[in-house]
Each structure stands twice: as structure tokens, then as C-alpha cells.
Amino acid sequence: MNPKAIFFLDAGRKFFSVKSICTLLEAAAQAGLDQMQLYFSDNQGFRFALADMTVETEYGIYDLSGVPGDGYCQEDKAPDGSGGYLTEGDMEAILGRAAGLGIELVPALNMPGHMGTILTRFPQFRYPGSRSSLDLRNPEAVAFAYGLAEKYAAWFARRGCRYFNLGGDEFANDLGIMGFETIYENGVMRYLVDFLNGLVARITAYGLTPMAFNDGIYYNDDLVTYGEIDRRIWVLYWIAGWNGYRPASPATLAGAGFSLVNACHRYYCGAGCPDWAERAENWKTFDCRRFDRDIIVDQPAGGMLCCWCDRGNFYGPDGGEALAHALPPVIAAFGQAMGKTNC
């Protein structure tokens, strides 16, 4: 299998117009990339509204019509202040442009963490002490999240998408300690494993391949204590952790049978980057086989350039124009790096 070259755009914290997204799709196509992942939900914003924003479960009907738009400020993170979001017509125009360019669009809806904008409307579903994350021990909250994920998975599957990024990273990091460390120690991790497996079952039922970031998958290299995690997940490996934060190593996950995409944090860029030329230059050192902490994984599933917009307000409510102008040289450098490696 040829490794996929993927560009990831945080269009959740910051609103990107159709024009700006299409500009970046064109840059991705010119660089020879395979996919663009469009991340549309986070604590600082929810940026894609369906015509029907109700979710129905066995517990009731939930109206999310007030959710799309800006989320909240959190430490150094902030929305762009635009209140903007994409409509179904907007997303269909983006999908059409992507198809015309030969770029596969991958929707990204993060859960059970990074759900802050959604949970502002449904605070009863929050994990205790967290503003951003779902209470995995609450069956009604879990059913709500499943219903929301299925609604979006069905919409994108009907329009020919083949992958779905479910996020899965940084659960309850607003507790004052990294949340995965907390739930690994207090036993809530078993609910996370059940949640991820249930989410994968629902997403794959629509013919979609699930993707997720690595940090919650077999945390602490522990493949035993909390049960098996569905190997159909393509793991977007961004970080091997630090003191007090212990994600599984790339070698552990590859050995467990997961497809790994190298999304190393050392190559991140985004709103507020001080030197774009340096970001492009950095890609000359990239080898998609060399993961975080220089751990080698033979035959990874791909490499991923991530543009994050934690500081969504840095350029103001410009519809992403500044980033659409700054990113193409970095995207080109990434595409060249992927072409030069032998993964």
C-alpha cells in the first residue's frame, strides 16, 4: 500500500470560508497529496451545521441548532470571533472541488474530548470537573455522542467519503492533569475503550474507515488491563508523551496491528506561527518512518501535516484568508518530503 500524504486543517477553532478551503485543496493537489482532513468541531468552535440539527436516541431528542459557531476561550486558546460555520451547501461545494482535484476529503469530529462547544449546550453530559469532555459513565451521554457521530458519518458516507476521523485525543485535559493519566489510574479507561469500540462499530457500519489520534489507544503501553481496542482504527500518531503523560509507543501500536500515520507534533504549524519559511524548511528532515522520539516504524500508512488553530483569533475573523496564503509553501514542502521518503 502506498502511504497517504495527508493535510489536516483545524477548521473547528477557526472558521474557514469555502474559498479559503478550496485554495488549500488546490495547494494540496499541486503538492500531490492524497487527503485533506477537515476538522470542524472543538472547544473553540463547531463549524459545520446540517439542515437538521436534532439528534434522537432512546433517551430523547436533542436540539443542537444553537451549537454551530464560536465556542469558548480556554487559557491561550480562543475562537476567531466570527461566529461562522459551513452549511450543507458549503460542504457539498467543498466536496465537489476536492473530487475535481483528486483529493479525498476526510471529516473530523472529535470525541469524547474536545467537545466543549457541544457540551456548553448540554452541560449535563460533561465528565465531572471537565468543561470539554463527555461523561463516559453516563449511558445517556454516550448515546447522545453516538447519535451525533452517526448523523455526521451518514451524511458524509452518502456523499462518497471513505474515512472518518473520530479524534479521540486529550480527554479531560482541563482537570489540571492530563486526563488520560487520570482515567488510567481511576479505572474510567475501561469506559473509554468501550466508547471507542462502539464508535468504531457505528462508523464502519456506514462503510467508513475510522481514524483517531494515538494518545488514548492502549495508554501506558497497556494492552491487557482495559481490554482490546478495535484494530480497524487508523492511528494518527502525534506524540509519545512526556513525564506524567504516557501514550503507547509507535512500536507497541504497530505491533498490535494498527495502521499508523506519522502526524508528529514537531512539524505542526498553524495560526500565529512566527516563521512560515522555517516551517517549510523543517519538512526537509521528515521521514514518515521516523515517528516521535525517533522510533522507526516500517511501512507506515502515511504522513500528516497538521495545521492547528488553537489561537483562532490571531488573524481575526478573516475566513482563513491569511492561512490560505501562508500554508501553500509548507504544503508543497510536505508533499516533496513524502515523495522523497521510502515508506
- Name 87's Cβ contacts closer than 8 Å, sequence gap at least 6: 49, 51
Encode 218-247: b = buried (16+ Cβ within 10 Å), e = exposed.
bbbeeeeebeebbebbbbbbbbbbeeebbb
Which residue is associated with the grid cell 504522513? 303
pLDDT for res 163: 98
pLDDT for res 274: 87
Task: Report the percent of the chain where pLDDT is more than 70.
Answer: 99
- For 318, the domain range is 4-340
Q: Quick check: 11 pLDDT over 60?
A: yes
For the chain, give percent helix, strand, coil, nearest 5: 35, 20, 40
Write the pLDDT tens digit of every residue in 252-283: 999 999 999 999 999 999 999 989 999 999 99
Give the chain's end-to-end CA distance (angstroms, integer): 10
DSSP lists the bridge partners of residue 212 as 235
d(CA 17, CA 94): 10
Q: Assign 266 to helix, strand or coil.
A: helix
DSSP lists the bridge partners of residue 311 as 78
* The overall pTM is greater than 0.75: yes
Cell of 17: 470560508
Q: Assign 297 to helix, strand or coil.
A: coil
CATH of the domain at 269: 3.20.20.80
Q: Give me the count of residues in the chain.
A: 343
pLDDT for res 279: 94
Name the domain count of the chain.
Answer: 1
Nearest to 118 by CA among 175, 12, 41: 41
Could you check whether the bond before residue 328 is cis, i.e. omega within 30 degrees of 0?
no
Q: State phi, psi for 158 to the nearest 5 degrees.
A: -65, -20
CB atoms within 10 A of CB 30: 13
| pLDDT-based confidence at residue 176 (cuts at 50, 70, 90) | confident
Mean pLDDT of 86-101: 98
